[in-house]
Amino acid sequence: MRLMVTAALIVAGLGAARAQDLDRKKAWPVVLKSAHYQIHSDATKEEAQKLLDHMELLFATYTRLFALPRPPAARLTVVLFKSKEGYETHAETPKGSAAYYDGRHLVGYCDEERMYNYFAHEGTHQFTDIALKDIQRAPMWFTEGIAECLGNSEVRGGRLYVAARNGRIARENLPVIQKMIRDRTHVPLRELVTMGEKEWKAREGMYPQSWSFCHFLLAYPNAEDPKREIPDGRYRPVLSTFITLMSKRSTKLEKALQASFVVNGKPIDLDELEKEWKAYVLGMTAGEARE
């Protein structure tokens, strides 16, 4: 089970007094601002600044991936605890989480190895909730799968690359989905694309499968695209069209799927697509992280 709490699991019913603690600037030794974010932290200024810089890279990527003509005008709020202990003992922290988005704040703790992945994933939910609220209607394979792809991003030479082959999340997810495919315990794509939230959450391995499907749609036939921050694979237009359509409240899921899963004007056979996806995933390798 993923150690993150998604926008779909927003903590409900927070009292104003409890939420104020995350907002009140005087409660935090470090308060920094950038073009699109404000961060409250009890970590060092240097640690907070590194995360703030990373969030700005992500913001630019979110804007491009979701084809947003007008990004949010108001700054988004990030809260960074200096330690796991401080994060876990805070009254609002969901048990078992490593980061969460509560509808207002993106919250996590300082961990040089993992926090950028978690903040990127949860930051996707924060961004879409603020800028593309209607897309939250999209099925879980998309909302969580694309968040996993963004969580799997890597920074190289000051640029953020989505769908990295050797990203931390890829290295965690790939063995799981490969085993699922070999054991035939994966969900057929024809079922996955319309699967409801309740059923999605009830099944094991849905984060790895949803990640692998979104990664496939972004990058296929290559494992990654080292020259592009956002891969431009054969099925990238499927995702782009789906995002555009699901961002409109009037679009029904069935219509969005019919209009999106098309190549060269012809509908995609999901059974044939599944064969490509399975071969692609089984042929992938995720080695050690890049230095």
HEC per residue, the chain = CCCEECHHHCCCCCCHHHHHHHHCHHHCCEEEECCCEEEEECCCHHHHHHHHHHHHHHHHHHHHHCCCCCCCCCCEEEEEECCHHHHHHCCCCCCCCCEEECCCEEEEECCCCCHHHHHHHHHHHHHHHHHCHHHHHCCHHHHHHHHHHHHCCEEECCEEECCCCCCHHHHHHHHHHHHHHHHCCCCCHHHHCCCCHHHHHHCCCHHHHHHHHHHHHHHCCCCCCCCCCCCCCCCHHHHHHHHHHHCCCCCCHHHHHHHHCEECCEECCHHHHHHHHHHHHHHCCCCCCCC
What does the block give as tokens for 88? 């876990």
Residues in the chain: 291
Give the pLDDT score at 73: 84
Instruction: Using DSSP bridges, classify how beta strands 266-267 and 262-263 pair: parallel, antiparallel or unpaired.
Output: antiparallel
At 249-291, the pLDDT tens digits run 899 999 999 999 999 999 999 999 999 999 999 999 976 544 4
* pLDDT value of residue 17: 38
- Is 231:162 a contact under the CB 8 Å cutoff? yes
Contacts of 195 (CB under 8 A, 6+ apart): 139, 140, 141, 187
Reduced 3-state DSSP string for 111-129: CCCCHHHHHHHHHHHHHHH
Cβ atoms of 43 and 81 closer than 8 Å: yes
Q: 9-18, 139-148, 169-178, 259-268: which range is least confident on average?
A: 9-18
* Location of each CATH 3.40.30.160 domain in the chain: 4-131
Give the pLDDT confidence score for residue 29 in this predicted structure.
95
Q: Which CATH superfamily, name and number, covers 4-131?
A: Collagenase ColT, N-terminal domain (3.40.30.160)
What gap in Å lies between CA 88 and CA 3, rounded to an integer?
A: 12
d(CA 279, CA 291): 29
Maximum C-alpha span of the chain? 58
Calculate the alpha carbon distances from 202 to 142, 184, 196, 207 in Å: 17, 17, 10, 12
Strand partners, 160: 155
- pTM of this prediction? 0.90
pLDDT for residue 21: 83
* Mean pLDDT of the residues in the chain: 91
pLDDT at position 8 = 38
What φ, ψ does residue 178 adopt, rounded to 5°?
-65, -40
Q: What is the mean pLDDT of residues 29-48?
A: 97
Q: Nearest-CA neighbor of 249 among 133, 129, 126, 128? A: 133
Residue 204 backbone zone (phi > 0: left; psi -120 to 50: alpha; other: beta): beta
Task: Give tens-digit pLDDT for 59-88.
Answer: 999 999 998 878 888 999 999 999 999 999
Are 67 and 240 in contact by the 8 Å Cβ rule? The answer is: yes
Whether the pLDDT of residue 15 is over 70: the answer is: no
| pLDDT computed for residue 24 by the predictor | 80
Mean pLDDT of 143-170: 94
| CA pair distance 46, 3, nearest whole angstrom | 26
Tokens 């057929």 -> residue: 188
